[in-house]
C-alpha cells in the first residue's frame, strides 16, 4: 500500500508557480507519492482556448522533470471532463493507496462546498490547502458554512473533520504571483515568452506553436467588429455599437458594446458570440471575464474588445463617453 497526494488542474500552460507548489508539497509530504493530474477540459470548457490535453500533458512532463512526481493520464483516457469524486476511487485502486490527500488553493477552499459531492470527497481524502507567504489561513468562522459544520476540532494549521479526515494548511516556500490565464493571454497576443514558464516548456511552446495568435486569424478587424456586432443584434442585444478607436488612446483598436435585458440574457449573448466566432473563424477569445455573473462580460479578441452589459450596469459605466472621439461604425 502507498499514500498519494493528488494535484489537479488545467496547467494551460504550466508555470513556475505550479512547480513551486509541487516542490513544497513533495518536501512536506515525503511519504506520499505526488500525482499531478492534468484535466481533460479547461475550466471554461468550450469558451476558453485549450491547446489540448496531449500538449498540456507533454508540457507538464517537461515542467516536472527531475521531481519525484507522476504525471497521470487518467483524464485523457476517460476522454471527458472528470469530477474529483469520480477520479479518487480510480486513483486509489491504481496506486494501491491507503491514504489520499487532495491539493487545492486557498481560493478553492472558500468554494469547496460547491464541488460535486464535496462531503463524500471528505470521507475519502484529506485536503491540503496552499497559500502564499504573508496570506493568513481562514479562521473557523470564515469557512463555508457547510464545511464549518463538519469541523470537530482545530489548531493553527489544520481542521479535524467529523468524517475522520482533515484540512491541512501548507505555506509555499516562495511568494510567486503568476497565473496561467495571464501567461496564455500574452502568448496569444504574440508577446515574448515569460521567464515564469520553465525553460523546457518554453522550448516546447515555440517548437509546437500551440498558442494561436489571434491577429493571424483576423484579416481585417474593422470587418470583424461589424460581424460581431451583427451576431449580437441577431440575438436581440440592445444598443449594439461598434467603435474604431485607433485615433485615441485605448487598449484595443476597436471596441464593441451591447446590452442584455437581464444577467441571463447578457451571458447568453456573450456565449452565442463566442460559439459563433469559434465556428466561423476558428478563433477562441484571448480572455473572458464576467461570463458567469452576466453583469459585465468582457471578451478580448486582441485588437477588438467586446463589452456585453446587463443594461442597468451599462448605464452606470457609460463607456461610450470614453470612445466619443472615435469613429462609430455603421448604425446601432
CATH 3.30.70.20 is right for the domain spanning 2-179: no
Q: Which phi-psi region, left, alpha or beta, contains residue 131 (left: φ > 0; alpha: ψ -120 to 50)?
A: beta
Q: Copy the grid coordinates of residue 312.
A: 442597468
Q: How far is CA 203 from CA 15, 57, 64, 194, 211, in A?
A: 13, 15, 14, 11, 13
In sequence order, the 6+-apart residues with CB closer than 8 A to the CB of 311 are: 238, 239, 259, 260, 261
Q: What is the DSSP string of 127-176?
A: EEEEE-TTPPPPPGGGS-HHHHTTEEEE-SSEEEETTS-EEEEEE-SS--
Q: Which CATH architecture has domain 217-328?
A: 2-Layer Sandwich (3.30)
Cell numbers representing residue 108 in the block? 478553492
Domain boundaries, the chain: 2-179, 217-328
Distance CA 255, CA 216 (A): 19
Cis peptide bond N-terminal to 13, omega within 30: yes
**Which of the 8 DSSP states describes residue 225?**
H
CA-CA-CA-CA torsion sign (312, 313, 314, 319): positive
Burial 295-312 (b: 16+ CB within 10 A, else e): bbbbbbbbbbbbbbbbbe
Question: Per the confidence metrics, is the pTM higher than 0.75?
Answer: yes
Per-residue tens of pLDDT for the chain, all 332 residues: 689 999 999 999 999 999 999 999 999 999 999 999 999 975 545 567 889 899 999 999 999 999 999 999 999 999 988 999 999 999 999 999 999 999 999 989 999 999 999 999 999 999 999 987 777 788 888 899 999 999 999 887 899 999 999 999 999 988 888 888 889 888 888 888 889 999 999 999 999 999 878 877 898 999 999 999 999 999 999 999 999 999 998 889 999 999 999 999 999 999 999 999 999 998 989 889 999 899 999 999 999 999 999 999 999 999 999 999 999 997 54
Per-residue pLDDT of 28-66, as tens digits, reads: 999 999 999 999 975 545 567 889 899 999 999 999 999
CA distance 11 to 181: 10
Amino acid at each position: 500500500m502507498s499514500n498519494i497526494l493528488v494535484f489537479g488542474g488545467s496547467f494551460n500552460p504550466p508555470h513556475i508557480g505550479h512547480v513551486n507548489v509541487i516542490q513544497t508539497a513533495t518536501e512536506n509530504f515525503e511519504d506520499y507519492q505526488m500525482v499531478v493530474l492534468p484535466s481533460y477540459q479547461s475550466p471554461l470548457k468550450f469558451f476558453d482556448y485549450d491547446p489540448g490535453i496531449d500538449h498540456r500533458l507533454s508540457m507538464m512532463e517537461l515542467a516536472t522533470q527531475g521531481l519525484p512526481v507522476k504525471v497521470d493520464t487518467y483524464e485523457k483516457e476517460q476522454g471527458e471532463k472528470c469530477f474529483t469524486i469520480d477520479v479518487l476511487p480510480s486513483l486509489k485502486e491504481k496506486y494501491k493507496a491507503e491514504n489520499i490527500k487532495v491539493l487545492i488553493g486557498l481560493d478553492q477552499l472558500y468554494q469547496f462546498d460547491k464541488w460535486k459531492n464535496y462531503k463524500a470527497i471528505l470521507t475519502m481524502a484529506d485536503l491540503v490547502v496552499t497559500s502564499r507567504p504573508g496570506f493568513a489561513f481562514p479562521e473557523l468562522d470564515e469557512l463555508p458554512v457547510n464545511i464549518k459544520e463538519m469541523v470537530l476540532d482545530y489548531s493553527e494549521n489544520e481542521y479535524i473533520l467529523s468524517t475522520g479526515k482533515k484540512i491541512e494548511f501548507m505555506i509555499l516556500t516562495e511568494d510567486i504571483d503568476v497565473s496561467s490565464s495571464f501567461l496564455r493571454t500574452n502568448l496569444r497576443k504574440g508577446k515574448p515568452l515569460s521567464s515564469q514558464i520553465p525553460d523546457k516548456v518554453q522550448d516546447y511552446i515555440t517548437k509546437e506553436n500551440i498558442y494561436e495568435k489571434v491577429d493571424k486569424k483576423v484579416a481585417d478587424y474593422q470587418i470583424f467588429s461589424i460581424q460581431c456586432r451583427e451576431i449580437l443584434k441577431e440575438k436581440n442585444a440592445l444598443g449594439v455599437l461598434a467603435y474604431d478607436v485607433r485615433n485615441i488612446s485605448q487598449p484595443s483598436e476597436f471596441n464593441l458594446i451591447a446590452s442584455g435585458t437581464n444577467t441571463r440574457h447578457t451571458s447568453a449573448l456573450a456565449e452565442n458570440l463566442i460559439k459563433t466566432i469559434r465556428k466561423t473563424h476558428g478563433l477562441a477569445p484571448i480572455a473572458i471575464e464576467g461570463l458567469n455573473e452576466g453583469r459585465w462580460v468582457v471578451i478580448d479578441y486582441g485588437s477588438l474588445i467586446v463589452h456585453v452589459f446587463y443594461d442597468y450596469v451599462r448605464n452606470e459605466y457609460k463607456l461610450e463617453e470614453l470612445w466619443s472621439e472615435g469613429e462609430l461604425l455603421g448604425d446601432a
